[in-house]
Amino acid sequence: MQTPTACPICTMTDILLTADAHAECVTCGHEWQDETHDPAALGEIRDANGIVLHDGDSVTLIKSLKLNGSSDTLKIGTKVTNIRLVAGDHEIDCKISGRGVMLKAQFVKKA
């Protein structure tokens, strides 16, 4: 998959891409449309049961997960709404209790 070289604002290269050709800088939070991104490049992202996930879906955690850098734990059964699919090791970008979290698709099921 081709990734943008840098954020147009802060010039950092930590970029998240979504299936709808939308790019976001992890460092400064700037968002823009990425014309070089191929939406099909993400491929199919499947949950723990093998169901294909899409942007905007709701998912439920199937395992309690400890948050890195914190003593907090995300409990099993926590429902997450309006997910975004991104390229990378952690395929799901979402907000849980107002905190931005990246999740692996293998730890969720479609709600």
Q: Per-residue pLDDT for the chain (111 aa), expressed as one digit of tens each? A: 454 467 878 888 788 877 666 788 888 888 887 665 554 566 789 999 999 999 999 999 999 999 888 889 999 999 999 999 988 888 999 999 888 899 999 999 998
Q: Do the bridges between strand 92-96 and strand 84-85 make them parallel or antiparallel, or are there none, so unpaired?
A: antiparallel
Cβ neighbours of residue 89 closer than 8 Å, sequence gap 6 or more: 104
Q: Give the per-residue pLDDT at 33.
A: 79
User: Which residues belong to CATH 2.30.30.40 in the chain?
Assistant: 44-110
The reply to whether the predicted model has a pTM over 0.75 is no
The fold for domain 44-110 equals: SH3 type barrels. (2.30.30)
80: enclosing H helix or E strand: strand 79-80
The fold for domain 1-42 equals: N-terminal domain of TfIIb (2.20.25)
